Protein backbone atom coordinates (compact mmCIF):
# COMPACT_ATOMS: atom_id res chain seq x y z
CA UNK A 1 0.00 0.00 0.00
CA UNK A 2 1.36 3.45 -0.93
CA UNK A 3 2.35 5.91 1.76
CA UNK A 4 -0.15 8.83 1.73
CA UNK A 5 2.60 11.35 2.58
CA UNK A 6 4.72 10.23 -0.37
CA UNK A 7 1.69 10.44 -2.67
CA UNK A 8 0.88 13.93 -1.35
CA UNK A 9 4.50 15.02 -1.85
CA UNK A 10 4.43 13.79 -5.46
CA UNK A 11 1.12 15.58 -6.06
CA UNK A 12 2.56 18.82 -4.61
CA UNK A 13 5.65 18.48 -6.84
CA UNK A 14 3.40 17.87 -9.85
CA UNK A 15 1.29 20.92 -8.97
CA UNK A 16 4.46 23.03 -8.58
CA UNK A 17 5.77 21.86 -11.94
CA UNK A 18 2.43 22.66 -13.57
CA UNK A 19 2.42 26.10 -11.93
CA UNK A 20 5.97 26.80 -13.12
CA UNK A 21 5.14 25.76 -16.68
CA UNK A 22 1.80 27.53 -16.81
CA UNK A 23 2.97 30.68 -15.07
CA UNK A 24 6.25 30.75 -16.96
CA UNK A 25 4.66 30.33 -20.37
CA UNK A 26 1.86 32.75 -19.56
CA UNK A 27 4.30 35.32 -18.16
CA UNK A 28 6.70 35.04 -21.10
CA UNK A 29 3.93 35.39 -23.68
CA UNK A 30 2.48 38.27 -21.66
CA UNK A 31 5.89 39.97 -21.65
CA UNK A 32 6.22 39.55 -25.43
CA UNK A 33 2.73 40.91 -25.99
CA UNK A 34 3.20 43.87 -23.68
CA UNK A 35 6.53 44.82 -25.22
CA UNK A 36 4.93 44.62 -28.67
CA UNK A 37 1.98 46.75 -27.54
CA UNK A 38 4.02 49.31 -25.64
CA UNK A 39 6.55 49.81 -28.43
CA UNK A 40 3.99 49.96 -31.23
CA UNK A 41 4.23 53.73 -31.60
CA UNK A 42 8.01 53.91 -31.76
CA UNK A 43 8.63 55.63 -28.42
CA UNK A 44 12.22 54.71 -27.64
CA UNK A 45 13.31 57.28 -25.09
CA UNK A 46 14.78 56.25 -21.76
CA UNK A 47 11.66 57.61 -20.04
CA UNK A 48 9.38 55.49 -22.22
CA UNK A 49 11.42 52.35 -21.46
CA UNK A 50 11.06 52.94 -17.70
CA UNK A 51 7.34 53.46 -18.29
CA UNK A 52 7.20 50.22 -20.30
CA UNK A 53 8.97 48.33 -17.49
CA UNK A 54 6.54 49.70 -14.89
CA UNK A 55 3.49 48.84 -16.99
CA UNK A 56 4.74 45.34 -17.69
CA UNK A 57 5.19 44.73 -13.97
CA UNK A 58 1.77 46.19 -13.12
CA UNK A 59 0.13 44.08 -15.83
CA UNK A 60 1.86 40.93 -14.60
CA UNK A 61 0.78 41.60 -11.01
CA UNK A 62 -2.81 42.26 -12.12
CA UNK A 63 -2.80 39.09 -14.24
CA UNK A 64 -1.47 37.02 -11.35
CA UNK A 65 -4.07 38.44 -8.99
CA UNK A 66 -6.88 37.84 -11.49
CA UNK A 67 -5.74 34.29 -12.20
CA UNK A 68 -5.28 33.47 -8.52
CA UNK A 69 -8.65 34.98 -7.64
CA UNK A 70 -10.34 33.02 -10.44
CA UNK A 71 -8.86 29.79 -9.06
CA UNK A 72 -9.99 30.70 -5.57
CA UNK A 73 -13.60 31.41 -6.48
CA UNK A 74 -13.82 28.50 -8.94
CA UNK A 75 -13.17 25.97 -6.18
CA UNK A 76 -16.50 24.97 -4.78
CA UNK A 77 -15.03 23.36 -1.68
CA UNK A 78 -15.09 25.20 1.64
CA UNK A 79 -12.08 27.47 2.12
CA UNK A 80 -9.82 27.80 5.10
CA UNK A 81 -8.69 31.14 6.43
CA UNK A 82 -5.46 31.51 4.41
CA UNK A 83 -6.49 29.70 1.22
CA UNK A 84 -6.92 32.97 -0.71
CA UNK A 85 -3.40 34.08 0.17
CA UNK A 86 -1.97 30.66 -0.71
CA UNK A 87 -3.67 30.69 -4.11
CA UNK A 88 -2.31 34.16 -4.85
CA UNK A 89 1.22 33.24 -3.74
CA UNK A 90 1.05 30.22 -6.05
CA UNK A 91 1.03 32.65 -8.99
CA UNK A 92 4.72 33.51 -8.44
CA UNK A 93 5.92 31.84 -11.68
CA UNK A 94 3.95 34.31 -13.77
CA UNK A 95 5.63 37.25 -12.00
CA UNK A 96 9.05 35.58 -12.14
CA UNK A 97 8.70 35.06 -15.90
CA UNK A 98 8.26 38.77 -16.60
CA UNK A 99 11.05 39.98 -14.29
CA UNK A 100 13.85 39.48 -16.87
CA UNK A 101 11.96 41.60 -19.40
CA UNK A 102 11.17 44.22 -16.77
CA UNK A 103 14.89 44.33 -15.93
CA UNK A 104 15.80 44.61 -19.62
CA UNK A 105 13.39 47.51 -20.18
CA UNK A 106 14.31 49.22 -16.92
CA UNK A 107 18.02 48.86 -17.74
CA UNK A 108 17.40 50.60 -21.05
CA UNK A 109 15.50 53.29 -19.16
CA UNK A 110 18.39 53.78 -16.75
CA UNK A 111 20.87 54.06 -19.61
CA UNK A 112 22.66 50.74 -19.10
CA UNK A 113 22.18 49.99 -22.82
CA UNK A 114 20.48 51.76 -25.73
CA UNK A 115 16.73 52.26 -25.34
CA UNK A 116 16.21 52.08 -29.10
CA UNK A 117 15.73 48.49 -30.28
CA UNK A 118 15.57 46.89 -26.83
CA UNK A 119 12.24 45.32 -27.76
CA UNK A 120 14.07 42.94 -30.11
CA UNK A 121 16.28 41.77 -27.27
CA UNK A 122 13.13 41.35 -25.14
CA UNK A 123 11.52 39.20 -27.84
CA UNK A 124 14.62 37.00 -28.14
CA UNK A 125 14.85 36.71 -24.33
CA UNK A 126 11.23 35.62 -24.00
CA UNK A 127 11.42 33.17 -26.89
CA UNK A 128 14.50 31.65 -25.23
CA UNK A 129 12.64 31.48 -21.90
CA UNK A 130 9.70 29.73 -23.57
CA UNK A 131 12.03 27.21 -25.20
CA UNK A 132 13.83 26.58 -21.91
CA UNK A 133 10.58 26.16 -19.97
CA UNK A 134 9.35 23.64 -22.52
CA UNK A 135 12.55 21.60 -22.41
CA UNK A 136 12.89 21.68 -18.61
CA UNK A 137 9.30 20.73 -17.88
CA UNK A 138 9.38 17.98 -20.50
CA UNK A 139 12.53 16.56 -18.92
CA UNK A 140 10.88 16.79 -15.47
CA UNK A 141 8.19 14.57 -16.95
CA UNK A 142 10.86 12.06 -18.01
CA UNK A 143 10.42 12.66 -21.71
CA UNK A 144 13.26 11.83 -24.07
CA UNK A 145 15.60 14.63 -25.12
CA UNK A 146 14.21 14.69 -28.66
CA UNK A 147 10.65 15.05 -27.38
CA UNK A 148 11.74 17.68 -24.85
CA UNK A 149 13.42 19.76 -27.54
CA UNK A 150 10.32 19.42 -29.71
CA UNK A 151 8.15 20.66 -26.85
CA UNK A 152 10.58 23.53 -26.28
CA UNK A 153 10.32 24.50 -29.95
CA UNK A 154 6.51 24.44 -29.78
CA UNK A 155 6.58 26.64 -26.66
CA UNK A 156 9.03 29.03 -28.34
CA UNK A 157 6.67 29.27 -31.30
CA UNK A 158 4.16 30.98 -29.00
CA UNK A 159 6.61 33.85 -28.67
CA UNK A 160 7.38 33.82 -32.38
CA UNK A 161 3.64 34.13 -33.11
CA UNK A 162 3.53 37.30 -30.99
CA UNK A 163 6.58 38.75 -32.76
CA UNK A 164 5.17 37.96 -36.21
CA UNK A 165 1.75 39.32 -35.28
CA UNK A 166 3.40 42.51 -34.04
CA UNK A 167 5.30 42.90 -37.33
CA UNK A 168 2.17 42.26 -39.41
CA UNK A 169 -0.04 44.57 -37.37
CA UNK A 170 2.44 47.45 -37.49
pLDDT at 37: 85
DSSP percent split of the chain into helix, strand, coil, nearest 5: 80, 0, 20
Distances in whole angstroms, Cα of residue 6 to Cα of each of 2, 76, 129: 8, 26, 31
Range of the domain at 88: 20-169
The model's pLDDT over 141-158, given as tens digits with 9 standing for 90+, comes to 899 999 999 999 999 998
Residue 127 is assigned to a structural domain of this protein: yes
pLDDT digits (tens, 9 = 90+) for 84-97: 777 778 888 999 99
The per-residue pLDDT for range 100-140, each reduced to its tens digit, is: 999 999 999 999 999 888 989 999 999 999 999 999 989 98
- What percentage of the chain carries pLDDT values higher than 90? 45
For residue 43, being part of any structural domain is answered with: yes
The answer as to whether 71 is a domain residue is yes
**How many C-beta atoms lie closer than 10 Å to residue 16's C-beta?**
13
Which value, in Å, is the radius of gyration of the alpha carbons in the chain?
18
The reply to whether 5 falls in a domain is: no
12 in a structural domain: no
Residue 52 within a domain = yes
pLDDT in tens, 48-72: 999 999 999 999 999 998 988 887 7
Q: Is residue 7 part of a domain?
A: no
Is position 119 within any domain? yes
Which has the higher per-residue pLDDT, 36 or 109?
109
Q: How many domains does the chain have?
A: 1
Amino acid sequence: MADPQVAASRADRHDTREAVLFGGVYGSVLACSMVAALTQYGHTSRDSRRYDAAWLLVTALASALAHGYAHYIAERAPHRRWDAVRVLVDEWPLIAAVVPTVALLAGAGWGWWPANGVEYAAFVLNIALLFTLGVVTARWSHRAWAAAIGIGVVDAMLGVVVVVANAVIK
